[in-house]
Structure 1
Amino acid sequence: MLRTVAVVVVDGLAPFEFGVICEVFGLDRTDDGLPPIDFRVCGERPGEPIRTSVGASLTPVHGLDALDGADLVAVPAAKIRDEYSPRLLDAIRQAHRAGSTLLSVCSGAFILGEAGLLDDRRCTTHWRHAADLARRFPRAEVDPDVLFVDDGDIVTSAGTAAGIDACLHLVRRELGAATTATIARRMVVAPQREGGQRQFVELPAPHQADSLQPLLAWLQDHLEHEHTVTSLADRVNMSERTFARRFAAETGTTPHRWLTAQRVLRARQLLEETQLTVEDVAHRSGFGTAALLRHHFTSVVGVPPKDYRRSFAHR
């Protein structure tokens, strides 16, 4: 469970990555029926402002002792430096030994690496820093292509939007699909992109500022219907070729793979929260048949739908 989240801030903090963690874990969403989270912003010197990367400052309320007992210790991106405070590294190591899950966003992975916590572990960071991370910490198994890596008690993510994916993945892992969907809807983002998707290293940027987010939100409400590249391109008044390029640039994958991932996510939610038959789950999630659901679900999740329900259904 995620009852307590402590986020560590240091000089050179990147505000966006810090904000992602605050948005997912730090806001009071009890009015939406979500469980409260004890959210702690922690620094080495509580009450003293730290500099951010954009010329503003931020003052942590808590000291590093507030990492004690945290279910999750989050390390957002910050300026990469040759050395980090020994007190900071010791506090993170101690929290990990005590059972805290660790999350890094973008260059926060360098702090975990300096603490020796990435040795012999799969991990990732922003593609621009991946080679440096691998050189600096040769025992770390750095994957430069993925959005995030869930290695159990250590989750590392790439930059910016991938931090959202990693945070929502942790919410889903610890609190379930319904809570994730509620937070994602409030943030107006997709509930989940699979961590194994490639980072946007070689993908072209969108040619316009307009986003496909309205289409993605509409698709999430209509997963049970059949969709083709032609029908989706028509919906946003694009040619199929332009639509396919734009979709890849904004989501990091193809329409078919994105739809499959969202349908598996919907199926997981239905299996967890309803008593629908597997056949009905297949229809409502857009797979059509139980056989097709089993094929895709097992491929993505690793177990068949019935086995998943036995393990994760809400009693």
Structure 2
Amino acid sequence: MAHRVVIVALPGTFVLDLAVAAQAFGRRPSVFSKIRVETSPPYDVRVCGSAALGTSLGFSMSELGPLTELSHADTVIVPGLEAPWEPQDPALLDTIAAAAARGARIVSLCAGAFVLGQAGVLDGRRVTTHWALAEEFRAAFPAAHLVEHAMYIDDGSVLTSGGMLASADLCLHILRLDHGQAYANDVSRILISPPHRVGGQAQYATVPARPLTGALAPVMQWMLTNLAEPLSLETVARHAHMSPRTLERRFRTETGESLQAWVSRHRVERARVLLEETDLTITNVAYTSGFGSTQVMRRHFLLHTGASPSDYRTAFRAPQQV
């Protein structure tokens, strides 16, 4: 009997998440036969949900199976959805919890982790979700161990992925677990997606632009204006007419981080903009951002984004037309 995969479609389901899961585990397109001969599909895939279910793109899906299919699932997949923080049907949550208790593999894609959290299957687990929802997720499920910038997390019987296209990364990982690397590689060739992407979600995350507030706002604005200059604690303290010790204490109180950590984070953000939008060399980006050398910029860039400056530019800069 084929391994049964049940994909749960909920109101506002992200169509891309659902499609990636259905394509990764469902019937292979005819072109797959040019890569691998497959006499029978390895999974029995069911999509379940309410009749005429609305999606995140505004259209409805019909002919969905009943949610009772979850009681026979070997793998349960919950795609992301438009408003993941909204309370879900208690009966659905109980069914997911029961599937987990009997040993089914439980998978969430993107914001689907909120549904698993409501079902109580994430307590004590290492999990991830879309990086932009990290704050809301931590507040809602403090007993889960959120790995904010991971593409996906495999915590044994519970697996979770980051933002929408990270769903493909996790699905390929599951195929690798079930059928080996060669099989996952062949499916990735159909998807035109690498079997494993280097780096995590951090390279896609941005720092939201927020107005500078608090007593140190003028000092922080001066620092942003002078990011390319040396900004040691002593230098900034002289500008602020404070002792270094007083400035550091007040800075941690207002921002929750050290002055140097704040400077490093904003220099990385400056470098990201320059790498994406200008033709400056990596060396010039390093100096313009205030890092002083390419080696120092690379170290901080890897820390904050999980990618090197050159890899980041390759990923986020439009290729030159020829």
How does the TM-score come out when normalised to structure 2? 0.61
Contact 2:131 2:201 in 1 (8 A): no
Q: 2:68 aligns to what?
A: 65
Matched, 1:41 2:41: no
* Cα RMSD for the two superposed structures: 2.6
Contact 1:13 1:77 in 2 (8 A): yes
Q: Percent identity?
A: 35
In 1: Cα distance, 2:309 partner to 2:23 partner: 33
Paired AA for residue 52 in structure 2: P
1:91-110 paired onto structure 2 within 5 Å? 91-110=95-114
Contact 2:76 2:107 in 1 (8 A): yes
- In structure 1, the gaps of 5 or more residues are 209-240, 251-315
Describe the shift of the 1:60–1:85 C-alpha distance in structure 2 as closer, same or farther (beyond 3 A). Answer: farther
In 1: Cα distance, 2:276 partner to 2:178 partner: 34
* SS in structure 1 of the partner of residue 183 of structure 2: helix
* SS in structure 2 of the partner of residue 107 of structure 1: helix
Paired AA for residue 57 in structure 1: S
1:120-135 paired onto structure 2 within 5 Å? 120-135=124-139
How does the TM-score come out when normalised to structure 1? 0.62
Q: By how many angstroms is 1:63 displaced? A: 0.8
Q: By how many angstroms is 1:242 displaced? A: 8.8
In 1: Cα distance, 2:37 partner to 2:186 partner: 9
* SS in structure 1 of the partner of residue 132 of structure 2: coil
In 2: Cα distance, 1:88 partner to 1:40 partner: 16
Describe the shift of the 1:83–1:197 C-alpha distance in structure 2 as closer, same or farther (beyond 3 A). Answer: closer
Contact 1:49 1:59 in 2 (8 A): yes
1:23-42 paired onto structure 2 within 5 Å? 23-28=23-28, 31=33, 32-34=36-38, 35-36=40-41, 37-42=43-48
Q: 2:182 aligns with which of 173, 178, 181?
A: 178
Matched, 1:19 2:19: yes
Q: 2:255 aligns to what?
A: none
In 1: Cα distance, 2:310 partner to 2:143 partner: 41
Q: 2:78 aligns with which of 55, 75, 79?
A: 75
Q: By how many angstroms is 1:197 displaced? A: 6.7
Contact 1:147 1:199 in 2 (8 A): no
The structure that has the greater radius of gyration is: 2
- In structure 2, the gaps of 5 or more residues are 207-271, 279-307, 318-322
Describe the shift of the 1:117–1:194 C-alpha distance in structure 2 as closer, same or farther (beyond 3 A). Answer: farther
Q: 2:9 aligns to what?
A: 9
Matched, 1:247 2:314: yes
